[in-house]
């Protein structure tokens, strides 16, 4: 059984402004770097075989900081882990979208990447991890929209309404017949940081 730990990247200025990032390559801000460092401390005691990351700098920097604490695990870029391209909504806030396209903007074709495209590349990644690490543990540092879509595919019939926290950890055990979510959206390392 392959275990995949999905980690959402640290926070960015656009996250704080409520702007859709998609394929826009926004860096971590100072707080995002601190969050990634706290996540790295959490993983220092864990054993993971590899760290795969989206090439977008907000995810890649998060993965690199985690990798510094886990020197036995190589950090590997994988374009399949990139965020869903948002098309015309990238850089906009919810208020911008309502003003520009009205309350039904989600029903419009705003040139974003299709759900099917995201799932195809996400499942390609999962299948490769199953082949490479049949009894292993892999971290996948990625993006909230991508991870939530992939979870809906891996765990059919399960809905997770709450947004994924920045640097949250979600662990899924990938089986031949069934997948099991062992941990969802855990940000305990950030609570410990504040106390």
Q: Which residues are catalytic?
A: 9, 83
Question: Using an 8 Å Cβ cutoff, are 7 and 67 in contact?
Answer: no
Q: At what angle do helices 144-154 and 115-132 cross, to 10 degrees?
A: 70
- As to burial, measured by CB atoms within 10 angstroms (0-12 exposed, 13-18 middle, 19+ buried), residue 72 is exposed
Residue 41 Cα to chain centre, angstroms = 18
Tokens at 65, concatenated? 């900081």
Tokens at 44, concatenated? 């220092």
* Residue 132 three-state SS: helix
Q: Which residues pair with 75 in a beta bridge?
A: 51
Residue 101 Cα to chain centre, angstroms = 28
Pairing of strands 169-174, 179-186: antiparallel
Residue 45 Cα to chain centre, angstroms = 21
Question: Using an 8 Å Cβ cutoff, are 149 and 141 in contact?
Answer: no
């Amino acid at each position: 059984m392959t275990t995949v730990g999905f980690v959402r990247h640290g926070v960015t200025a656009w996250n704080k402004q409520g702007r859709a990032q998609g394929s826009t390559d926004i860096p971590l801000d100072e707080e995002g770097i601190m969050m990634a460092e706290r996540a790295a401390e959490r993983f220092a005691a864990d054993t993971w075989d590899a760290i795969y990351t989206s090439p977008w700098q907000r995810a890649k920097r998060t993965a690199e900081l985690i990798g510094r604490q886990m020197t036995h695990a190589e950090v590997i870029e994988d374009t399949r882990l990139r965020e869903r391209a948002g098309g015309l909504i990238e850089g906009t806030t919810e208020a911008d979208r309502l003003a520009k396209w009205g309350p039904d903007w989600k029903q419009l074709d705003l040139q974003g990447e299709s759900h099917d495209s995201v799932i195809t590349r996400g499942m390609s990644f999962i299948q490769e991890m199953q082949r490479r690490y049949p009894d292993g543990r892999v971290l996948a540092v990625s993006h909230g929209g991508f991870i939530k879509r992939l979870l809906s595919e891996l765990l059919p019939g399960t809905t997770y309404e709450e947004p994924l926290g920045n640097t949250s950890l979600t662990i899924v055990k990938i089986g031949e017949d069934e997948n099991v979510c062992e941990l969802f959206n855990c940000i305990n390392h950030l609570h410990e940081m504040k106390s």
